[in-house]
Amino acid sequence: MVLMDKKARVEELVELLNKYSYEYYSLDNPSVTDKEYDVKYDELKLLEDEIGYVLPYSPTQRVGDVVLQGFSKYTHKARLWSLDKAQSIKEIEDWHNRNIKFVNEMNSREENLPPLRYVITKKFDGLTINLTYNEDGIMEVAATRGNGETGEVVTAQVKTIKSIPLKTSKGDIFEVHGEAIMTTEAFEKYNETAETPLKNLRNGAAGALRNLNVKETARRGLSAFFYDVGYKEGTGFTSYEEMLNFIKEKGLPIDSYIKYANNLNEVEKYINEIKDMRFDLNYDIDGVVIAIDDIRTRELLGYTVKFPKWAIAFKFEAQEATTKLLDVEWNVGRSGRVGPTAILEPIELAGVTVKRATLNNMDDIKRKGVMIGAEVFVRRSNDVIPEIMGVVESSLENAIEINPPKVCPACGSHLVLDGAHYFCENTLSCKPQLVKSIVHFACRDAMNIEGFSEKTAEQLFEKLDIRSIADLYKLNYEELLTLDKFGPKKAQNLLGAIERSKTPELYRFIYSLGIPNVGVKTAKDLVNKFKSIEGLKNATFEELILVQDVGDIVAKCVLEFFNEEKVLNTIEELFNLGVNPSYEEAVIIESSFSGKIVVVTGSLQKYSRSEIKAKLESLGAKVSGSVSKKTDYVIAGDEAGSKLTKAQDLGITILTEDEFEKII
């Protein structure tokens, strides 16, 4: 291949690979496999090295294997403004009323401004970046916000963000503002191997962009969203909607949640929608941005010294804060694992008073440098117990080291260290283990013993010497009457529920046994493959990993579980006591839902959540818990929340319960 041909091939490969990246990262719709991408990438790298011809927008420039000497300054072509903030709907209302008054006043002077229309978007909690693209569509400069007028050049760092195009379509010079963010997946992946774990997503993003070692930036796997064109030569925009469409057309990543409101009620509705989805997102937001759509109205309203008058941010309560670690409590779980829980000085986080937080294990404690008496970073996300992310270094002076317990805090038995976790070996008489195992066995998704509670399980352990799940089937009426708050009716009802539980579906029985890492769905998948207890007991590692969503870890857990003599004896005893699990191979009905991915959200009138799931699976559908571009249908009941909103944004077919019934 002659030199000119090789240069042409480089240009062809760059265009092609950039197209693939856009499809993968921005559209979530890849047109080639990872292997195909890698083959072309390797070809490009070899050609570039051979002929020394490297385009500034080549994907090979994202590697980040340079260490910079320092940061240079960059003067933005147009100022990057901060936003005025509101923390109540009353403040938003006051701002809205001022806007109405202004528009009416301008129109009385024959300005002919349109009725107020607001654009509602999420307020991302990351680091603001400003990108400059030249006439050829090449990203020339990436800079931080700085003081709004002058920032620091971070072009090499931003090039590591794979969703940002290094080259877009030719046209006018423009600057676009966005937010560099770190997803929870990238955060967790980084912390798995980091010597010093990151404390939160925002600092992870900010630290990455302000790192002179660009390889370190690349390791953090940043993402970005763009939302504003601060400067553009040539024809301007008439509306914010038009501006957002321009950003999207240029191939820059833009959030799918964009709403338009014509009045205050609609604004409040969308604020609440975003607030509801806050903890379901895989990145941080700290509020909602409300901005006037019409650009002419914006121009006339103008700016204060600090803020534009045409936009405002509704701020959420913090989901991260610092507080004092008062003590560490060690608790025993169903598996015998003894885990640490932090006792905190109470603190308000996202509208909830937090007094406790998880610490995972001793390795995690040491890695984060956490000590009793120190100030710690606490984060609340999703509806789970908050987590301690790190320690305030300056508060460690008089802090006390955290030591693991020498014996089980519940029963005083010997502890063994297995991997990163401590376990109590006393599985027969350690109360928390037995109580939690019995409660799990009896729960609705397992054997479904109605009226069974943790308090009942504690009494069975303490007063009736129950030491195995099999012992439940040996209980008698007279024994139960000796328990607190157990009269004749309650005793009879419990015995009846225990008797009815003897004929469970096989997957429920498998789940009830408490195999580590085997939830309800995995139990169903295992049953569909192996059909019986015997089939599962005799399964090999190779057979197990062929089951959908069963990886090496789950396969090992299943093998180890059924290798335990105590487990096999308990199962045999249950069968001897009349427990008889059943399995009927599901008959898949050919339907409109065959092979489709369906999400159910909200409250349905005719189905419980488990009933609708079973119904959909019988129709050949795969039921998912989250909405994505791959979702085919969303069945929405009453009070459907953020999943419905996301489905609407993505243009997914939405069915009411009645519409679903008509189809089937």
Residues belonging to the active site: 123
- Judge contact between 92 and 312, C-beta under 8 A: yes
Q: Letter for the amino acid at 504?
A: P
| Token pair belonging to 537 | 């007991």
Cα 343–chain centre separation = 25
- Judge contact between 645 and 257, C-beta under 8 A: yes
| Token pair belonging to 350 | 């996202």
**DSSP-assigned beta bridge partners for residue 213:** 67
CA dist 168 and 534 (Å) reads 60
| Token pair belonging to 584 | 């009927």
CA dist 133 and 143 (Å) reads 12
- Judge contact between 506 and 527, C-beta under 8 A: yes
Sort 109 into a burial class: Cβ within 10 Å, 0-12 / 13-18 / 19+.
exposed
CA dist 83 and 618 (Å) reads 52
Which residue shows structure tokens 């290094």? 166
- Judge contact between 250 and 99, C-beta under 8 A: no
User: How far separated are the first and last CA of the chain, in Å rounded?
Assistant: 60
Q: How many CA atoms lie within 13 A of 447 on its CB side?
A: 29
CA dist 396 and 368 (Å) reads 12
Q: What phi-psi label fits residue 452: left (phi over 0), alpha (psi between -120 and 50 degrees) or beta?
A: beta
The secondary structure of residue 38, as a DSSP letter, is H
Q: Which residue stretches of 448-538 are H helix?
A: 454-463, 477-481, 488-500, 506-512, 520-530, 533-537
- Judge contact between 436 and 350, C-beta under 8 A: no
CA dist 319 and 348 (Å) reads 9
- Judge contact between 126 and 181, C-beta under 8 A: yes
Q: Letter for the amino acid at 651?
A: G
**DSSP-assigned beta bridge partners for residue 139:** 133
- Judge contact between 635 and 599, C-beta under 8 A: yes
Q: Letter for the amino acid at 636?
A: A
Determine how β-strand 311-315 pairs with β-strand 84-86.
Answer: parallel
Radius of gyration of the chain (CA): 30
| Token pair belonging to 170 | 């030719």
CA dist 427 and 226 (Å) reads 54
CA dist 472 and 356 (Å) reads 34
The secondary structure of residue 60, as a DSSP letter, is G
For residue 66, give the 3-state DSSP assignment. coil
CA dist 612 and 233 (Å) reads 55
For residue 127, give the 3-state DSSP assignment. strand
- Judge contact between 350 and 331, C-beta under 8 A: no
Cα 148–chain centre separation = 32
- Judge contact between 464 and 486, C-beta under 8 A: no
